[in-house]
Amino acid sequence: MINQYETVFILTPVLSDTQVKESVEKYEQLIKDNGGEIVNKEAWGLKKLAYTIQKKNTGFYFLYEFKAEGEFVDKLTTAYKRDERVIRSLVVKLDKHGVAYTERKRNKVQEPAKTE
């Protein structure tokens, strides 16, 4: 059964732009190769962490919404854990309310500002 998921992962801040791009493309390709469909992706950029992780205070944040089979989540989680460039990750299954919320949020962001 295909479900919709949201994943956020944080890459270590010591990576170059090309290394960050390679890592992000690797996970995009992993999703696509396993029959998934990317619904939305956002690069939040370099942000300060709430607490120190592996002696790092900042990290590159990325958010992906995707549709995939439930078994794929285990593969994705394992890939995150094996990659030394990923310092934290989280994958969440969205219920119908979560899907509706993310769609509203996406549409609101893409609408032009109204002037009165």
Task: Give the model confidence (pLDDT) of 65-115 as tens digits.
Answer: 999 998 899 999 999 999 999 999 999 998 888 888 888 888 875 555 555
CATH architecture, domain 2-110:
2-Layer Sandwich (3.30)
Separation in Å, CA 37 to CA 34, 54, 64, 65, 72: 9, 32, 10, 9, 12
Which residues, 6+ apart, have CB-to-CB distance to 79 below 8 Å?
27, 30
Cite the beta strand spans of the chain per DSSP E. Answer: 2-11, 37-53, 56-69, 86-94
Q: How confident is the model at residue 23 (pLDDT cuts 50, 70, 90)?
A: very high
**pTM of the predicted model, to two decimals?**
0.83
Residue 29 CA to its chain's centroid (Å): 13
> Domain map of the chain by residue range?
2-110
